[in-house]
Amino acid sequence: MRSNRLKVSGADAVYHCMTRTVNGERLFGDREKEILRKMIWQVGDFCGVRILTFCIMSNHFHVLVEVPEMESISDAELMRRYKVLYPKPTKYQEASIKVLERDLAAGGEEAEAVRHKLCVRMGDVSEFMKTVKQRFSIWFNKSHRRFGTLWADRFKSVLVEGAGNPLQTMAAYIDLNPVRAGIVDDPKEAN
């Protein structure tokens, strides 16, 4: 049975998120890892999520993110964030961007609908991970001429809080993942 994720509202929160490929298949080489890395940063920028550290392995990835309390965003910032998702827009995406800009400039109900549509995808760890996983799956399947699901399950997440140094402990856990796996001797050699 699916249960709701523990999410913080009205304050900044830090989450450790992790997701695995179907059957734990080792699908990611250097190229795939680099594309996934870029997408994590792009989607983080779009969602307003701060990437604290991450680790991409051949069959899973970890990311430690800070999700700030959602604040009001200007229309210019909304459009900047939207364009981050499309660094090399197609003609369709360019047209879509123009429509969004026109609707925002016009004001009224259409502008509010655009703002709402974009803002619900921001400041939320679930939306961040969903977008990363969807975008990467589309790219991966297209690049490898495959279809179907790439990820085993929903992502797992842990709210990082408590006494002591939980943030540093979790960051070290993530950064040392390739060392524990025997892939590198020093975490600086990974990613």
Helices (H), the chain: 30-47, 75-84, 91-106, 108-119, 125-143, 166-175, 177-180
The mean pLDDT of the chain is 90
Dihedral sign for Cα atoms in the order 157, 158, 159, 165: negative
Indicate if the pLDDT at residue 68 is higher than 70.
yes
**Percentage of residues in the chain having pLDDT higher than 70:** 89
More confident position, 164 or 83: 83
- How much is the average pLDDT of 104-110? 92
Of the pLDDT bands very low, low, confident and very high (cuts 50, 70, 90), residue 2 is low
**What does the pLDDT average to over 54-80?**
94
The total number of residues shown for the chain amounts to 191
pLDDT tens-place string over residues 6-31:
667 767 899 999 999 999 999 999 99
3 pLDDT higher than 60: no
For residue 64, report the phi and psi dihedrals to the nearest 5 degrees: -110, 115
Cα distance between residue 104 and residue 76, in whole Å: 9
> 112-153, pLDDT tens digit by residue?
999 999 999 999 999 999 999 999 999 999 999 999 999 999
pLDDT confidence of residue 182: 66
**Residue 80's closest CA among 100, 56, 108?**
100
pLDDT at 186: 66
The pair phi, psi for residue 127, each rounded to 5°, is -65, -40
State which amino acid sits at residue 30.
D
Q: Phi and psi at residue 18, in whole multiples of 5°? A: -150, 145
Q: How far apart are CA 7 and CA 4, in angstroms?
A: 9
Angle at 161 between CA 62 and CA 163, to 5 degrees: 130
How confident is residue 180, by pLDDT bands cut at 50, 70 and 90?
confident
pLDDT at 1: 44
Cα atoms in the 13 Å half-sphere on the side-chain side of 45: 15
